[in-house]
Amino acid sequence: MTPNETSDETPHKALGEAMPPSYAFTEQTLPAIRRRFSLLRLTALWEAFLVAIGSLRTNKLRTALTLMGIVVGVSAVISVVTIIKGLDQTVAQTFSSQGSTVFTISKQPRVITSREDFIKFSKRKDVTRDDAEVIFRMCTACYQAGVAASRPEIVKHLDQKSENVFIRGIAPTTMFDIDAVTIDAGRTWNENEGESAREICVVGADISENLFQGAAPDSIVGQQVHIAGRPFLIIGVLQPLGKIFGFSRDNLVYIPYSTYQKIFGGRSSLVVFVKTRSAAQLEETEDQVRTIMRNRRARSFGDPDDGFTLETQDVFLDLYGKATSNIYLVTIGVAAISLVVGGIVVMNIMLVSVTERTKEIGIRKAVGARQKDILTQFLIEAVTVTALGGAMGVLTGFGLAYVLALAMGFPLLISAASAVLGVGVSSIVGVVSGLWPAWRASKLDPIEALRAE
């Protein structure tokens, strides 16, 4: 090899040795560079956020008016959703007060939706005391069972009277447990008193309120009331159950079923209540009772109609769900309209802000700001004001829901998911409503912008 000749490896080696360390990219240095770029990007976003905060503080009245639209929208949605959740829980607790271990056997369903069904069910045989006795005797899976018959009546005490009182004749006394009611003062009757048709009763809280001017339950025990013109001795007072949909559940009087038969007759169809030891045994117990009743009605498994109705409390929950599902959607949709209006307000204010700050945008572009930087700044400004309005709206919405729940007697169910949803939706509104003004700002010609007055 001559001195003028060089090998293929020499230039590469020399070049490698002469290359500055900062240009020697390796697999180890790439992650560090990526982290540096990410840090620079976060710093740029933070600076844009500070600029947006400064702009909002400069125009306090405009910012307050913009916030108002978002606060009202989010408050409406949050309060409606919270009240609906409280209402759902109240209804579920009311209709499921007997728990998931109770079902009934009756002549016809408690909910009939058509005239044809009413005519069909009315042709069935009545459920009688004999049917109940056979169920009590032959159902090995039944834990507790009882019968009940009800009718509205006027209840009087001296010169006071209460109308449309729910008179409920029951047997045996285990029906108090099945109905999930609790004695507040006094006692229930014993089996001998019940079978001998004694004119004794256990009254609800509304009776003490309406007929005894809210006297203490202990002082009411031993007093007399008149039901259907006959004197009844009060031996117990129930704990209050509250209201549902404005209707009181305490306007009732329990009397022995034998007394009910003696006064009102025993020809009406009964409702048989059956309670199992656990929810897991409910299906097995229902099958036993269904077989017993089919045999008494001479029905086979192939008959389309059993001749009776077997129901749980879920029938009311299903009816409530079907009746209110569309109402809830419409209610939430109407409340969401105010949030859309708030978004329109944000877009309008942002467009005004772009017009007022045209010269500022021109200066920023003249010193090197890119379209992306301008777009990011105005988007962050829109999202900041809507996110702040969303947070304030969540607090205001829960406060409004608390007042409404207190007034209507519903429980207040504050959900973290609702709060996150409120702020998140308001932030999305900020992005959507701020996108067009931000795009217009980023597309401004710097020379024309600098000329703006």
> Cα–Cα distances in Å, from 139 out to 77, 142, 174?
51, 6, 16
The whole-chain average pLDDT of the chain stands at 79
What is the pLDDT at residue 14?
44
pLDDT in tens, 114-133: 788 788 888 888 888 888 89
pLDDT in tens, 391-442: 888 888 888 888 887 777 667 777 777 777 777 777 787 788 878 888 888 8
How many CB atoms are located within 10 Å of the residue 30 CB? 10
**pTM score, two decimals?**
0.60
- Fill in the amino acid letter for 128: T
φ, ψ (nearest 5 deg) of residue 174? -65, -15
- Fill in the amino acid letter for 63: T
pLDDT in tens, 53-90: 777 777 777 778 777 878 888 888 788 778 777 777 77
C-beta of residue 262 within 8 angstroms of C-beta of residue 200:
no
Greater confidence (33 vs 388) lies with: 388
C-beta of residue 275 within 8 angstroms of C-beta of residue 101:
yes
Burial class (CB in 10 A: 0-12, 13-18, 19+), 175: buried
What is the pLDDT at residue 225?
93
pLDDT in tens, 295-348: 888 877 767 777 888 887 666 666 666 666 677 777 777 767 777 777 888 888
**pLDDT mean over 93-104:** 68
C-beta of residue 212 within 8 angstroms of C-beta of residue 226:
no
CA atoms within 13 A on the CB side of 404: 19
pLDDT grade for 39, boundaries at 50, 70 and 90: low
Q: In whole angstroms, what is the distance from residue 109 CA to residue 101 CA?
A: 19
Look at residues 167, 337, 340 and name the one whose alpha carbon lies nearest to residue 257. Answer: 167
pLDDT grade for 259, boundaries at 50, 70 and 90: very high
